[in-house]
Amino acid sequence: MNTDRIALVTGGSGGIGQSVVERLAADGFAVAVHYAGNRAKADALAERLAESGHRAIAVGGDVADENAMAAAFDATEEAFGGIDVVVNTAGIMILGPVATFDLDALDRMHRTNIRGTFVVSQLAATRLRAGGALINVSTSQTRLQHPTYGAYAASKAAVEGLTMVLARELRGKDITVNAVAPGPVATPLFLDGKDEETIARLAALPPLERLGQPEDIGEVVAFLAGPARWINGQVLFANGGIA
């Protein structure tokens, strides 16, 4: 049990984010549940964890706004005394062919996925305590390269590049920096707008022949946040074995 460890999870009220929050809390972490727009959901999650004996608070802010996120880091430190783990699950996914992709949508997605990840990573680089971990979230689409995922995969390829470089820039700090690249995971974000045939086809892609569950990603994050101190500067593809 990591009873003296503190984590800040961006997008903590979302599908994967919520699973990460619950998994880290189960491991004994005090957790700051970050939200951008859904304060009620983040508050409810933090309250539910507190009622179960865990330490949890909700913190808000646009991940791409450096001042708002500095305030979220401040609030976490003030509540718990420091930050040991930052998990960057906040992100948006907009799909469409490259040839006709709306550039305003591209800018909106890249603001959250690239600038937001950069802002949070920048803060983590200066705020994490020794022995800490930064875990960013990419996507298996950087490897799978399915049609309509071009803009999204481009934003997440940037996340992977940032993660690799930052791991090396933090030499001597005893801080690990890694990324998790999920495959298809049964979250509202993923399932929205897909018919049953599409979902079944995607579920058949992994050799395990099922969609990932948010808890599957939570397990990988908990590994990187806790015992996996010799894994650094890596992208872990958590996708059930999709080639």
Q: What would the pLDDT profile of 40-53 be if each residue is shown by its tens digit?
A: 999 999 999 999 99
Query: Residues 35, 80, 152, 190: which is the catalytic one?
Result: 152
Q: Is pLDDT at 105 greater than 80 in this prediction?
A: yes
> What gap in Å lies between CA 27 and CA 10, rounded to an integer?
18
- Walk me through the domains of the chain, giving residue ranges and CATH numbers: 6-238 (3.40.50.720)
3-state helix, strand, coil in the chain (%, to 5): 50, 15, 35
Confidence at 218, pLDDT banded by 50, 70, 90: very high
Check residue 1 and give its pLDDT.
47
> For this structure, is 35 an active site residue?
no
Residue 64's contacts (CB-CB under 8 Å, 6 or more residues apart) are 111, 112, 115, 116, 119
